[in-house]
Amino acid sequence: MKTCSLCGLAKPIAGFYRDRTCRDGRSGSCKDCVRLRAKDWYSINRERALANVKKWAALNAPKRATYCRRWLDKNPWYSAVSSRRWREANLERWRASKVLSEGKRRARKVHSIGSIERLDVARVRRLQRDRCAICRCRGSKLHVDHVVPLALGGANDAANIQLLCPPCNRRKWAKDPIVHMRELGRLL
pLDDT tens, position by position, 35-50: 999 999 999 999 999 9
H/E stretch holding 28 reads: strand 26-30
Q: Are residues 119 and 170 in the same domain?
A: yes
Q: What is the mean pLDDT of the chain?
A: 91
> 105 lies in a domain?
no
In this prediction, residues 159-176 reach a mean pLDDT of: 94
In this prediction, residues 156-163 reach a mean pLDDT of: 92
- The count of structural domains within the chain is 2
The set of residues, in sequence order, having a beta carbon less than 8 Å from that of 29 and lying 6+ positions away, is 4, 5, 6, 16, 37
Q: Are residues 71 and 125 in the same domain?
A: no
Runs of H (alpha helix) within the chain? 31-44, 46-59, 61-74, 76-89, 91-109, 118-127, 166-172, 177-184
Least confident of 5-14, 96-105, 141-150: 96-105
> 3 lies in a domain?
no
pLDDT above 80 (res 14): yes
pLDDT band at residue 182 using 50, 70 and 90 as cut-offs: very high
pLDDT above 80 (res 188): no
Q: Are residues 83 and 117 in the same domain?
A: no
> 56 lies in a domain?
yes
pLDDT at 93: 87
Closest CA to 15 of 25, 2, 6, 5: 2
Q: Are residues 124 and 170 in the same domain?
A: yes
> 103 lies in a domain?
no
The set of residues, in sequence order, having a beta carbon less than 8 Å from that of 181 and lying 6+ positions away, is 187
pLDDT in tens, 57-115: 999 999 999 998 999 899 988 888 988 999 999 998 888 888 888 878 888 888 888 88
* DSSP-based three-state secondary structure for 180: helix
In this prediction, residues 157-165 reach a mean pLDDT of: 93
> 107 lies in a domain?
no
Q: Are residues 117 and 179 in the same domain?
A: yes
Q: Are residues 135 and 177 in the same domain?
A: yes
pLDDT above 90 (res 7): yes
Q: Which one of 89, 105, 138 terminates a domain? A: 89
> 80 lies in a domain?
yes
Dihedral (C-alpha) 172, 173, 177, 178: value to the nearest 10 degrees? -70
> 14 lies in a domain?
no
> 57 lies in a domain?
yes
In terms of residue numbers, what domain contains 151?
Answer: 113-184
Q: Which one of 43, 74, 89 terminates a domain? A: 89
pLDDT at 161: 93
pLDDT at 60: 94
CATH code, 136: 1.10.30
The set of residues, in sequence order, having a beta carbon less than 8 Å from that of 157 and lying 6+ positions away, is 113, 114, 115, 116
Q: Are residues 135 and 84 in the same domain?
A: no
pLDDT band at residue 51 using 50, 70 and 90 as cut-offs: very high
* Residue 72 burial (CB count, 10 A): 13
